Structure 1
Amino acid sequence: MTQNRKAGYCIISALASLQFGLVLLITIVLLSVFGTLIPQSEQLYYYQELYGQAAAAFLYYSGLTHVFSSMLFLIISLLLLINLSFCTCNRFKYLKQRDWNGYGSATLHFGLMVIIVGGLISGFFSHSKYYEVPVQSVMAVTDSGFDLRVDDFQIDYYENGQHQKQPRQYYTKLTILENEKEVGSKEIKVNHPISYKGTKVYQTSYGWLVQGNISVNGQQKNFSVPAGQTVEIAGNYYIKAIPAGETADQGFLYQLHHRERKQPFIGRANLNEQINLPEGSVQFSALKKFTGLQVKSDPGVPVVWSGFMLLTGGLFVKLYGGKK
């Protein structure tokens, strides 16, 4: 029993030590640097195009492409929370009456704890997903309890000058649906999101979707891919396609490659023209404009803001509380 107590005391002492807290802080800083320098939460093909096959596989499967939601980052944050909890409890334990410096310091530590708790809530429960939705389509918003219908999409261009053909602003008109019933309509534009039931919807991009179908070994699958992006569609096949003109009737330029083959299929195909593959065929059926929407839900944000308020209050008390 005595040995168990000693072991427990050693573990608690290690968790509460200043050195351990500093190691955790440095580790979090280093991971945050990686999370800042490396684009986060993209698909594997994005990193393959950016870094190459081997480096992309390492970054993707090591968690460095989703640092802030990785289990490693969350565990380190949890350990730092435990470390700060011991430190804060000790500070409150030895506080004296009218010890403003001590109260300020303890409040600073508590505020930092609240921020970490908010970060953990975000890491475990936040959701962020990007949608490319054609006009007059309904988008099922994951884990939100409502759907969004894209009613219209408009682009404002610069009227004159050297930026004449560049978009100035773009808008999407959305209808919110619950149980297939309309509950409201809203318009969003860049930097002006909408918020509904704790979920925010941001206008982020627009473009064209190349639609078609692929048949591999007798199995057919429809696909809808952004023009100019490489996307896996089926049977280890990746496709990159762009319209040859302003309409689908002018055909498509495409590049098809197989994961296990070096030589891609490159060419031009008309609308509904069949492209033969060793295991089947591909054809393009439509070209549709889409609006790019980023949907985010983060219950940890209010907690983080509360922590910042405590930090600010603690700093104020520490600096000015004891002055007369």
Structure 2
Amino acid sequence: MTIDKFIRRLTSLGLAIILFIFIAAYSIIGTVLPQGLQREFYIESYPAMGSIITALQFDQVYSSWIFRILLFLFIVNLAGCTLRILPGQLKKMKKDHFPKPKPDGDNLHAENMDIQKFRGILERKRYTIVEGEKGFRASKHRIGNIGSSVTHLGIIIIILGSFIGNMFAQEGFFNMLPGDVKGFPQYGFSLRLDDFRLGFRDNGTVDQYYSDVTVLRPEGEEWSDTMWVNNPLKVDKVDFYQTSYGWASSLSILGPEGEEQNALLRNGESYFYQPGHLTVYLYGYFPNMTITSLGEPITMTEQELNPYYAVILYEFGNHVSSDILEPGQSIQYKDFKLTFTDSSLYTGLTFRKDFGYIFVMLGSLLMTLGLIFSFYFYPKHIQVEEKSIRTITRQNTWGFDYQVRQLVQQSTEKEE
């Protein structure tokens, strides 16, 4: 394959469509699938696909090397396409360039029209007049010729901003219980979770989850706000997103001498109690538990209507007990007493500081400008010769012909 042929393929419309489809598919995955969580979450939540999700980086789509390669190729494709068509568009913007009318186009000339009056009307309408051998030519909105290139440039800058943002953005994920404080010394503030709560639909399913937070600063200044899934929090160009939630359960282990150890476990986590060589595995906390036909515990809703714990005990790595417990109910194993006292909701928050924001704003402005050039200021040409008036435009031909007919009609009207 020659270099010219390779460049043509690299900048072809077909490749652009393929890349756009892949980028759209990855974006859909990144929207539907929770992002930035721990690997264990995907393994447990998607048993059949968890390993594939993490291997293909579907858990961090927008910062994955696959997504970055797709964006880079799309930028190269769009830039090459733009550079290929731009010289022709710039040529069409020159005053002496005038496209040929279609041979089968309508002749809008009227027998009783005043050509000079028609010309004056066009000049008042801000048409540029160029003299010709057999008459004159009028043109307007030549800027529309570069509309597609300006649009392409805007898209390139937007994607470039996203690319830079993905490469250099500062981001992370953390969990918080009500009362916890997360410090961000690099940004000069801390975040305190005042409360976290769930909103339910009439059928008991979760409708929304809310975090009441307070922003704390070293100088004592603070302010509070409520964030939810579709309402992120922005603090000094750092965006916080509500991405997940779960239950944290309080475990108390009482030894033979009355000594006590406490731990906080999430579903699927273990605690090793050294004095008894005992591992306590919290299979799950079920706020509204029921047992399936296969004997598996599940929760019907996240409302605490029938709460139970599923707990498994191991001693020296060997399974010794599996129990279903109510809050406050204890397990007595040898000289040890184990109790799950209660559970609290925690929230999972993602933070991100994106350096590509200014590029996205500039690109959006240019893309909007390009679309306005293309669809509202598209080029209009009128060729006027003896007994002939023909229009040339690349879109809305019927509408442009109608406008010119109205101007021709005005040139036939006698002044009183």
Q: Residue 265 of structure 2 contacts residue 282 of structure 2 at CA under 8 Å; is this kept in 1? A: no
1:83-98 to 2 correspondences below 5 Å: 83-94=77-88, 95-96=90-91, 97=93
Counterpart of 1:185 (choices 206, 220, 223) is 223
Cα shift at 1:82: 1.5
Q: Name the structure 1 match of 2:66.
A: 72
Counterpart of 2:146 (choices 88, 103, 107) is 103
CA distance in 1, matches of 2:29, 2:198: 37
Q: 1:312 to 1:254 in 2, by over 3 A?
A: same
Q: Residue 134 of structure 1 contacts residue 291 of structure 1 at CA under 8 Å; is this kept in 2? A: yes
Residue 196 (1) aligns with residue 235 (2): yes
CA distance in 2, matches of 1:12, 1:48: 42
Listed one character per residue, the Cα deviations across residues 158-217 of structure 1 (whole Å, up to 9, x for unaligned) are 9xxx799x9998562413234xx5332323244554422211235667765224489xxx
Q: Name the structure 1 match of 2:42.
A: 47
Residue 241 (1) aligns with residue 241 (2): no
Q: Residue 327 of structure 2 contacts residue 342 of structure 2 at CA under 8 Å; is this kept in 1? A: no
Structure 1 unaligned segments of length 5 or more: list them. Answer: 1-5, 215-220, 245-250
Q: 1:81 to 1:134 in 2, by over 3 A?
A: same
Secondary structure of the 2:58 match is coil
Q: Name the structure 2 match of 1:28.
A: 23
Cα shift at 1:79: 1.4
1:271-290 to 2 correspondences below 5 Å: 287-288=343-344, 290=346
Q: Could you tell me which amino acid in structure 2 is paired with residue 57 of structure 1?
A: S
The structure that has the greater radius of gyration is 2
CA distance in 2, matches of 1:184, 1:110: 42
Cα shift at 1:289: 5.2
Counterpart of 1:126 (choices 169, 192, 213) is 169
- How many residues align? The count is 297
Listed one character per residue, the Cα deviations across residues 216-256 of structure 1 (whole Å, up to 9, x for unaligned) are xxxxx986444xx4347789966423589xxxxxx972334
Q: Could you tell me which amino acid in structure 2 is paired with residue 186 of structure 1?
A: S
Secondary structure of the 2:79 match is helix
Q: Could you tell me which amino acid in structure 2 is paired with residue 153 of structure 1?
A: D
TM-score, reference length from structure 2: 0.55
Q: Between the two proteins, what is the percent identity of the paired residues?
A: 24
Q: Name the structure 2 match of 1:153.
A: 195
Q: Residue 172 of structure 1 contacts residue 188 of structure 1 at CA under 8 Å; is this kept in 2? A: yes
Secondary structure of the 1:21 match is helix
Q: Name the structure 1 match of 2:356.
A: 300
Secondary structure of the 1:182 match is coil
Cα shift at 1:264: 8.3
Secondary structure of the 1:188 match is strand
Q: Residue 171 of structure 2 contacts residue 353 of structure 2 at CA under 8 Å; is this kept in 1? A: yes
Secondary structure of the 1:187 match is strand
Q: Could you tell me which amino acid in structure 1 is paired with residue 220 of structure 2?
A: E
CA distance in 2, matches of 1:237, 1:93: 69
Cα shift at 1:113: 0.2
Secondary structure of the 1:136 match is coil
Cα shift at 1:72: 0.7
CA distance in 2, matches of 1:136, 1:20: 52
Q: Could you tell me which amino acid in structure 1 is paired with residue 222 of structure 2?
A: G
Listed one character per residue, the Cα deviations across residues 51-101 of structure 1 (whole Å, up to 9, x for unaligned) are 32x421122212233322210110111111122222222333331235433
Q: Name the structure 2 match of 1:174.
A: 214
Q: Could you tell me which amino acid in structure 2 is paired with residue 315 of structure 1?
A: L
Cα shift at 1:104: 0.4
Listed one character per residue, the Cα deviations across residues 274-293 of structure 1 (whole Å, up to 9, x for unaligned) are 8879xx99875775554554
Q: 1:196 to 1:91 in 2, by over 3 A?
A: same
Q: 1:77 to 1:59 in 2, by over 3 A?
A: same
Q: Could you tell me which amino acid in structure 2 is paired with residue 187 of structure 1?
A: D
CA distance in 2, matches of 1:141, 1:272: 40
Q: Name the structure 2 match of 1:210.
A: 249
Q: Name the structure 2 match of 1:248.
A: none
CA distance in 1, matches of 2:64, 2:86: 33
TM-score, reference length from structure 1: 0.68
Q: Name the structure 2 match of 1:140.
A: 183
Q: 1:9 to 1:163 in 2, by over 3 A?
A: closer
Q: Residue 19 of structure 2 contacts residue 74 of structure 2 at CA under 8 Å; is this kept in 1? A: yes
Q: Residue 205 of structure 1 contacts residue 293 of structure 1 at CA under 8 Å; is this kept in 2? A: yes
Cα shift at 1:303: 2.4
Residue 59 (1) aligns with residue 116 (2): no
Secondary structure of the 1:140 match is strand
CA distance in 1, matches of 2:33, 2:211: 30
Of residues 202-211 and 133-142 in structure 1, the stretch that sits farther from structure 2 once superposed is 202-211
CA distance in 1, matches of 2:159, 2:281: 43
Of residues 314-323 and 199-208 in structure 1, the stretch that sits farther from structure 2 once superposed is 199-208
Q: 1:125 to 1:142 in 2, by over 3 A?
A: farther
Q: 1:313 to 1:12 in 2, by over 3 A?
A: same
Residue 266 (1) aligns with residue 323 (2): yes
